[in-house]
Structure 1
Amino acid sequence: MIRNIIPTSSIFKSYDIRGIYPDEINEDNIYLITQSILKFFQDQAKNTNVKVGVSHDMRLSAPKLYPGALQALKDGGACVWNFDLLSTPTFYFAVSHNNLPFGFILSASHNSPRYTGFKIVTNINNKIIKVGKNSGLDTIKKYSISGLKNKHTGGGIIERESILKDEVDSALSKVDISKIKPIKIVVDAANAMGSLYIEELFSRLPCKLVKMNFNLDGSFPAHDPNPLVDKNLIDVRKKVVEVGADLGIAPDGDGDRIIFIDENGEKIPASFLGSLIIKKLLQRYKGATIMFSVTEILTPRSITEEMGGKFIITPVGHTHITNLMHQSNALFAGEISGHYFFKDTGGTESGVFTIVNVLEILSSLAKPISQLIHDVRRSFASGEYNFSTDKADIIMERLKSDYKSGSLMTIDGIAVDYPTWRFSVRSSNTEPLIRLNVEARTQEGMKVKLNELINKIKALGAKKHND
């Protein structure tokens, strides 16, 4: 039975739809939410019989929710391409590769088991546009809370075969496979979606794969699928050292973020790993445009400029970055959360493209990954510090005044640059937090400025937040 229960408006976030199952997203409202997404697609196409690619992740709620979503699309007149179980990057590839104008994946990324949600895209000339708050999500929200009815004839469902082989073929066509050596790699898939593309990729390469937590299980029995939380990396870091691996890899829940571990079991900052890729790509694509998010830019910008590329700073957030890549015709982009974006994948994240580029670099340069990172490092970064506060605007105005001698940027909170160091402070989109990042050309300089800023922020009433 179809139950058109109006969802709470709080599930509509900045970049996606996300909520707790069954409290916020459930069998009672999945139909209405999906029909509202479809109505947005139909508005864009000025046609009711649109093609829509859909898939879902391994969450325990997916078998209960996905059938209702498919039915809503069919009842609304859509031609549904059902790709079933996919990671988010593979879903993006499926939409682009098949030239589908619209799509969504039922997923809650790296969140804990009780969450579910939608990541929604449109596709123009194989350029993926992610639907966020200012690019359609507000319209979908309006339709959902109005109790929209969207019935049209002509709908149907086409079951599609796995797209994984095509995705891996595409990635491998961009590198010299003959250069990839039998590297030993540990991957902790966190019982989540990255295991699918990892299995397919490494079945085609001479590398020795040491697998951890590869069986799909939406209860995440080993640990939460968020590799940005240090405790979730403990096992993979130990295993890399234990087996003498050359590299460790930890994808997140839906596979669109990847954290890398060096041969010593140390986490590699994404801005440094991204800089390795930047250097490789700019050797081939002279003068190309590179992007990195505002929180950490010193090393990526330095490497880009040394290699003759053009560097653009972006706001934080995968939706912003993908859409800005199209505007600037950027070759590559990254951010410290482990999202790596490629022009070749429609401006979206790709775990497969990221991994094959790293493997080619590691194989061809014949140095440990820690040495390669040392060679590109041009700065020292604090990592992200979070502070609880309901006075974010007041704190940022005070910091702007205190550091007015620096060069100010306001594309996402505030960022202030000096010749040898910089910092950024921005508000969380979802919590009463501000986030601080500090970079400097020397480690000592970074520590001094980090302590200085922490003390200032605390003095303004914020409390250090325990993530």
Structure 2
Amino acid sequence: MMDLSCFKAYDLRGQVPEQLNPDLAERIGRAYVDVTGAKKVIVGYDIRLSSPDIATALSDGLRAAGANVYDIGLCGTEQVYFATSHYEMDGGIMVTASHNPKNHNGMKMVGPESRPISSDNGLNDIRDRVLEPFTDASEQGSYETLDAMDAYVEHLLGYIDTASLKPLTIVANAGNGGAGLVIDQLEKHLPFRFVKVHHEADGNFPNGVPNPILPENRSATAEAVVAQQAAMGIAWDGDYDRCFFFDENGRFIEGYYIVGLLADQFLRKTGGGAVIHDPRLTWNTLDLVQAAGGTPVESKTGHAFIKQRMRDEDAVYGGEMSAHHYFRDFAYCDSGMIPWLLVAERLCQSGQTLSSLIDARIEAYPASGEINRTIADPKAVISAIEANYREQGGRVSKVDGVSIEFDDWRFNLRMSNTEPVVRLNVEARGDKALMEAKTEELLAEMERLNR
């Protein structure tokens, strides 16, 4: 039997070559065409050493099944999203394992208009089709390279008023992923001085796997911000669909507060509209969206859910505290480039520092950040905590996991989809001590129930 353990809920990820290799990639290409009926498919790949061979085999499979392949080469996930929608293709596949270890690889798949292909709308069918015999199409598909960079950069610049920009020093840490290639192109159009850290694309990951959410990976960016007296720092993961911010003091900013800042900045441009947010931490986002004339809409966490809800609501922007930011004019997809351009624009227009924009929000809505605990029976623990706090008068919502709200504090508890882990987020209204006390209280309760 073929090992298909690389198929996950939203994408493919696994070790190379044990779980993903060129032979399997070729079959995946064939299965993708058989299941979706796609005739024109974008293919791109990240900086991992195994990516070019896997992308070539994938393209061979797509062509053998009769699809024409448009290869945009080394890129980020969002460029596959962009090219698929911009050039009106039938689908797109990005070869990437994002921030996984360097001996891993994977794929992210989309259909027409860059709609995500997940386990509930085709990914499981592709997995099952891989196991069946294949016959070549009567006419093999064509192959051509497509340079999408100029159109992509032009699109990115359309989100900001370049005339309002002023000289800023910005630290850009690509983590030896692909983001540096885009910064080099954007740099020509912007008045910013970029201090480039771990800039060269290198699948050997000489400075570790690019994953700025890990505290140990933040010091290079933070130190460069302070040393260069930069206005802010930005760091990306390997396929740069997520970006992370550091203020002018080198402080890492929780993604939750960036959601509110971006919602506010975007609504200033649009004069209103729906903004999608996840249920983990909400009060700061609700406050800013409503103040800017927008309509906040809560969605289950996860890119497939957020993107669908954005389409349903025709939302202008969507944000998750995990540093995924989605934009209506970007085919409702997530981008790691649009957010920092909007934040830089805000700094230029307001004359404020990033810390001054963020500090007031942290003070108004102090939050714990996401805390993970390994729990033997997550469902039982969450149910017991829900019953306990419901009895105390908490208002319960179950959009994603369980959210329980009191007048002056709230929390969300949710299970991981992939491991026996429970994720906790707590926030309060202007009372950091209360937030910290309630966080400790909930963690102690989780520990007691887990015995």
Q: TM-score range by the shorter chain?
A: over 0.9
Which of residues 255, 266, 273 in structure 1 aligns to 2:258? 273
For residues 23-54 of structure 1, the C-alpha deviation after alignment (integer angstroms, 9 at most, x for no partner) is 11113322112211222221xx6xxxx11111
How far is the alpha carbon of 1:411 from its aligned partner?
Answer: 2.2
For residues 253-296 of structure 1, the C-alpha deviation after alignment (integer angstroms, 9 at most, x for no partner) is 10000000000010111121221121122223233000111112
Contact 1:303 1:376 in 2 (8 A): no
Give me the TM-score of the superposition, normalised by structure 2.
0.96
For 1:27 and 1:167, the matched residues in 2 are separated by 29
Give me the TM-score of the superposition, normalised by structure 1.
0.93
Query: Counterpart amino acid of 1:391?
Result: D
How far is the alpha carbon of 1:376 from its aligned partner?
Answer: 4.2
Aligned-partner SS, 1:187: strand
CA RMSD of aligned residues (A): 1.5
Query: Which ranges of structure 2 fall in alignment gaps of 5 or more residues?
Result: none
For 1:219 and 1:322, the matched residues in 2 are separated by 33
Which of residues 80, 98, 101 in structure 1 aligns to 2:87? 98
The within-5 A match list for 1:179-258 is 179-258=164-243
For 2:140 and 2:361, the matched residues in 1 are separated by 53
Aligned-partner SS, 2:155: helix
Partner of 2:120: 134
For 1:62 and 1:174, the matched residues in 2 are separated by 31
Aligned-partner SS, 1:77: coil
Structure 1 runs of 4+ aligned residues shifted over 4 Å read none
For residues 398-454 of structure 1, the C-alpha deviation after alignment (integer angstroms, 9 at most, x for no partner) is 011011122212222111122221111111122221111111112111101100100
For 1:69 and 1:152, the matched residues in 2 are separated by 15
Partner of 1:465: none
The within-5 A match list for 1:45-444 is 50-123=39-112, 126=113, 128-144=114-130, 146-377=131-362, 378-404=364-390, 405-441=393-429, 442-444=431-433
Contact 1:201 1:352 in 2 (8 A): no
Query: Counterpart amino acid of 1:99?
Result: E
How far is the alpha carbon of 1:244 from its aligned partner?
Answer: 0.7
For residues 216-244 of structure 1, the C-alpha deviation after alignment (integer angstroms, 9 at most, x for no partner) is 11121112111111111111111110111
Query: Counterpart amino acid of 1:423?
Result: F
For 2:154 and 2:84, the matched residues in 1 are separated by 16
Contact 2:368 2:425 in 1 (8 A): yes
For 1:89 and 1:319, the matched residues in 2 are separated by 15
Contact 1:415 1:424 in 2 (8 A): yes
2:8 is equivalent to residue 10 of structure 1: no
Query: Counterpart amino acid of 2:415?
Result: S
How far is the alpha carbon of 1:150 from its aligned partner?
Answer: 4.6
Query: Counterpart amino acid of 2:414?
Result: R
Aligned-partner SS, 2:290: helix
Query: Counterpart amino acid of 1:28?
Result: D
Structure with more contact order per residue of length (Cα contacts < 8 Å, sep ≥ 6): 1
For 1:34 and 1:159, the matched residues in 2 are separated by 16
Query: Which ranges of structure 1 fall in alignment gaps of 5 or more residues?
Result: 1-5, 463-467
Partner of 1:30: 25
For residues 33-76 of structure 1, the C-alpha deviation after alignment (integer angstroms, 9 at most, x for no partner) is 2211222221xx6xxxx111111111111132222111111110
Aligned-partner SS, 1:303: helix
For 1:225 and 1:394, the matched residues in 2 are separated by 35
- CA gap of 1:7–1:364, structure 2 versus 1, over 3 A, is farther
For 1:283 and 1:213, the matched residues in 2 are separated by 34
Aligned-partner SS, 2:349: helix
- CA gap of 1:150–1:328, structure 2 versus 1, over 3 A, is farther
For 1:268 and 1:39, the matched residues in 2 are separated by 44
How far is the alpha carbon of 1:111 from its aligned partner?
Answer: 0.9
- CA gap of 1:369–1:101, structure 2 versus 1, over 3 A, is same
Query: Counterpart amino acid of 1:346?
Result: A
- CA gap of 1:54–1:392, structure 2 versus 1, over 3 A, is same
Contact 2:401 2:412 in 1 (8 A): yes
For 1:53 and 1:338, the matched residues in 2 are separated by 25
Query: Counterpart amino acid of 1:65?
Result: I
For residues 318-349 of structure 1, the C-alpha deviation after alignment (integer angstroms, 9 at most, x for no partner) is 22211221111111011111111100101111
Contact 1:32 1:148 in 2 (8 A): no
